[in-house]
Homo-oligomer: A and B are copies of this chain.
Amino acid sequence: MSRPVTIKDIAKKFKCSPSTVSRALNNHPVINEDTRRNLQEYARKVGYQRNQVSLNLLNKKTASIGVVVPTINNYYESAIIEGIDSVLQPLGYSLNICVTNEQFLLEQGYVEKLLSNRVEGIFVSVSQETYDAGHYEHFENIYNRNLPLIFIDREYEGFAVGSVTIDDYHGAFAAVEHLIKTGRRRIAHLRGPQSMSVAEQRFRGYSECLKQYGFEEDESLIIHTDFKVESAIKPVYHLLDLPSRPDAIFCVNDQTAIGAMKVIRDQGLDIPGEIAVAGFDDSPISGYISPSLTSVMRPGRQLGMKAARIFLDYQLADKKDTFSEHIILPPQLVVRESTLGE
């Protein structure tokens, strides 16, 4: 409650002008040695702390960056944020992290708030509801303010100065190719929500790979999930009950893969002997569960760092109106026990 000490307070106390106090505290060379020492000492004693808010207004700079993401409670997303932070924090920027929970209205609200707070750039990973609704005006607002908008992981084509995404298509392709090359013939897919582009890309990778290797795509082997462990349970029971059971399951992420493995084990089937399982994300535990899980690694931290670099490059660019940088990072298949022999 007690109002923080201001420069004016100190000036009044010392019967001098605020300018003198300001310069003294900033070690401006024009200030008398004694004056400087006295003022600095007093400022420390009363716990003066410069008001950054007023400086932000004066300098029209806030050194803060908006980061709008659907969630932060999984390894990949937080790795992205960590990557951005690792580049921008040392330069004095601070991140304003906004969690949309996949809700369009929250995303929209956060963007407005960030603009109003005069952040110097906005990183966005588009929420699912936004894709569903097809409303992208809030991104247009960012664009109209000439503020750098950079999409991370989940992009929208338009209004962006840059984007860094993962080549989910080829990641999925590689995983399925690996399954085929290790002799699997009926490969099922636990698909993600249709509205999410990452999930769709993985499905495409799955689908195209089957086609290229001359396999028929079997509708009954493709089931939707919502990314969560639990959502894999029922679909996998269903898959195992099919007259001609699949001999491999490619899962849209590690969570569903773990759910799948549980069901398969509970049914007394052997992994990878009878059914191979592959996931997507390479979460930290995937190497330690049993059997260890084959998975497609997404370089989240690197993605964040690249996105931050794009932002910095944009700041330096002379022809900002033509600046545009879109990076697609390759994921990497990590083969483990769940798709191989012991």
Q: Which residues of A contact B (CB under 8 A)?
A: 1-4, 47, 49-54, 56-57, 60, 62, 72-75, 78-79, 81-82, 85, 94-99, 112-113, 115-118, 141, 144-146, 229, 255, 258-259, 261-262, 265, 284-285, 287-290, 292, 320
Contact = CB atoms under 8 A, between A and B. Distances in A.
Contacts of A265: 290
A49 B96 contact: no
A116 B52 contact: yes
Nearest to A51: B118
Contacts of A75: 73-74
Contacts of A287: 229
A284 B232 CA distance: 14
A270 to B, nearest CB: 12
B57 A54 contact: yes
Given A47-B141, A96-B96, 5 more contacts: A51-B116, A74-B75, A258-B289, A262-B288, A262-B292
Given A73-B79, A141-B47, A320-B1, A52 B290 contact: no
A155 to B, nearest CB: 23
Nearest to A271: B290
A4 B144 CA distance: 10
Contact of A97 (B53, B97, B118): B97
13 contacts: A2-B146, A51-B57, A52-B117, A72-B78, A73-B78, A78-B78, A229-B288, A255-B285, A258-B288, A258-B289, A262-B292, A285-B289, A290-B290
A147 B248 CA distance: 57
A113 B94 CA distance: 9
Contacts of A74: 75
Given A72-B78, A73-B78, A229 B285 contact: yes
Contact of A49 (B2, B51, B116): B116
A265 B292 CA distance: 12
Contacts of A145: 2, 4, 47, 49
B285 A285 contact: yes
A258 B287 CA distance: 10
B52 A118 contact: yes
Contacts of A292: 262
A120 to B, nearest CB: 11
Contacts of A81: 72, 99
A230 to B, nearest CB: 9
Contacts of A229: 284-285, 287-288
A100 B85 CA distance: 11
Nearest to A115: B49
Contacts of A115: 49
The 8 closest A-B pairs by CB, nearest first: A73-B78, A52-B116, A262-B288, A258-B288, A289-B289, A97-B97, A72-B78, A52-B117
A244 to B, nearest CB: 26
